[in-house]
Amino acid sequence: MKYIYSFIFILLLAACRQAQPFDEDAYDERLSGGGLATVFDETQGAFGHEVGGLNKRDNEVHGIGDVTFEQSFVAAPAPVNSGLGPLFNNVSCISCHHNDGKGTPSAGMTNSSLLIRLSVPGKDAQGQVSSVDGFGGQLQDLGIFGKQPEGTVEISYIDSIVTYLEGTTVTLRKPTYRILNPYQPLPANLELSPRLAPSVFGLGLLESIPEATILGFADENDTDGDGISGKANYGWNYFTKRKELGRFGLKASMPDILNQSAGAFHQDMGITTYLFPTEAVYGQPQFDGLADEPELADTLLNAVAFYLKTLSVPARRNVTNPEIKRGQALFKETGCANCHKPVVQTGINLAIPALSNQRIQPFTDLLLHDMGPALSDYREDFLANGNEWRTPPLWGIGLFEKTNGIPYFLHDGRARSIEEAILWHGGEAEKTKSSYMKLSVSERNALLKFLKSL
């Protein structure tokens, strides 16, 4: 009998030693980007740090990508950084993605970060919305000296007032866009979509989220009845030449960072690469006629993509502050966390261990959601309709004032604060916005403070 008890005791001990799920509260909440891809810097340079653990060679490639990202390009032919234009929106990556962060919602100036996508109804062979004859899929509003830009963008705002229950008011501004001085007539059925340059850190982690995880969040027909759908977009991968799950871009129509980077070089700067070897203005009178394609060396495009993959996420701040804790709970209670998923696990990434199998806090599901007519661009983008936008990641948003001055939010930068951005939510997010608006002043402040801690 004695032996039996001993045996049971040993058995129990053994059972106690079995691996248990790690307690959710035991994770360090500051680690937004996981163990090696989180950086402790809350200054203006917070978005510009490489992930830890890169080997010497990768470290060099990151550095080359960093330099290329910052370089100004000049008109071809030139001994250094040749290939700008002939038409473009800006002269370097950093001009729009200021400090690797967000941009300024103006167009046609040296510090502008807003561009206008163009289309007419219909789809092309890849399933993308049809581009406009003589203009392509994007309005290039600047040109090298002597080349006429496709047009200029006029942005005007109309103010409206939102009033909370206790009487506090917030002024929102709704933009309207007009294209002035087009170099040739624009079609009557033209569709416009304004896009503000988003921040570029943490992208490698987002790229490392397993497709199964993202699809697991999707609920296109809202079968669980919570009012939140979540729809996957599928865009064209110009490298693999097939449709793939979209993760990047404001409508989640870009499958990976390489396509996104090459697309930006091509459309935003007029620089050809191996993915897009034909000038954006080919067939237009502004074409330079030079046979210098691709203008950007393959290695440099790859280095820029690698640089973007290996930028760390800034750590959260003041995570134990009771008010911020309260805000964190309210974020969940009001329903924000239904789309802005606080915690996601990345998959295995053999190439970059820092991104591999990490518990990250991106606050996105990378899916499309109907945000209502007030935010609609009334234009399709692969499977996205006008009302649908990708849930943007919220990590780092509390630092935008330091990295970018006025922190402009939403796809077109109409919101000048986190609060304004919340108040623009509609469609599927209408209910959550209403819950937010019913909170007391101190609860709202707690929620905003939580968001500022990201």
Positions in the binding site for other proteins (CB under 8 A): 41-45, 63, 67, 72, 74-81, 84, 91-92, 94-95, 98-99, 110-111, 142, 144-146, 401-402, 404-405
Q: Which one, 95 or 364, has the nearer CB to other proteins? A: 95
φ, ψ of residue 248 in degrees (nearest 5): -115, 170
Q: 295 near 271, Cβ under 8 Å?
A: yes
Strand-pair partners of 180: 152
Q: Treating both helix axes as pointing N-terminal to C-terminal, what angle do 56-70 and 298-309 enclose, rounded to 10 degrees?
A: 100
Strand 74-75 and strand 368-370: pairing?
unpaired
Mapping DSSP to helix (H, G, I), strand (E, B) and coil, where does residue 196 land? strand
CB of 103 to other proteins, least distance (A): 11
Largest CA distance in the chain: 99
CB of 88 to other proteins, least distance (A): 8
Q: Which one, 87 or 192, has the nearer CB to other proteins? A: 87
Q: 122 near 129, Cβ under 8 Å?
A: yes
Q: Which one, 215 or 406, has the nearer CB to other proteins? A: 406
CB of 48 to other proteins, least distance (A): 9
Q: What's the start-to-end Cα distance of the chain, in Å? A: 59
DSSP state of 171: E
Strand-pair partners of 415: 409
Query: Amino acid identity of 90?
Result: N
Token pair recorded at residue 147: 């080349």
10-19 in b/e form (b: 16+ CB < 10 A) is: eeeeeeeeee
Q: 228 near 151, Cβ under 8 Å?
A: no
Q: Which one, 10 or 78, has the nearer CB to other proteins? A: 78
CB of 91 to other proteins, least distance (A): 5
CB of 325 to other proteins, least distance (A): 18
Q: Which one, 43 or 184, has the nearer CB to other proteins? A: 43
Q: Which one, 108 or 342, has the nearer CB to other proteins? A: 108
Q: Which one, 124 or 292, has the nearer CB to other proteins? A: 292
195-209 in b/e form (b: 16+ CB < 10 A) is: bbbbbbbbbbbbbbb
Ranges of H-type helices in 269-411: 298-309, 322-333, 400-404
CB of 402 to other proteins, least distance (A): 6
d(CA 139, CA 151): 7
Q: Which one, 115 or 250, has the nearer CB to other proteins? A: 115
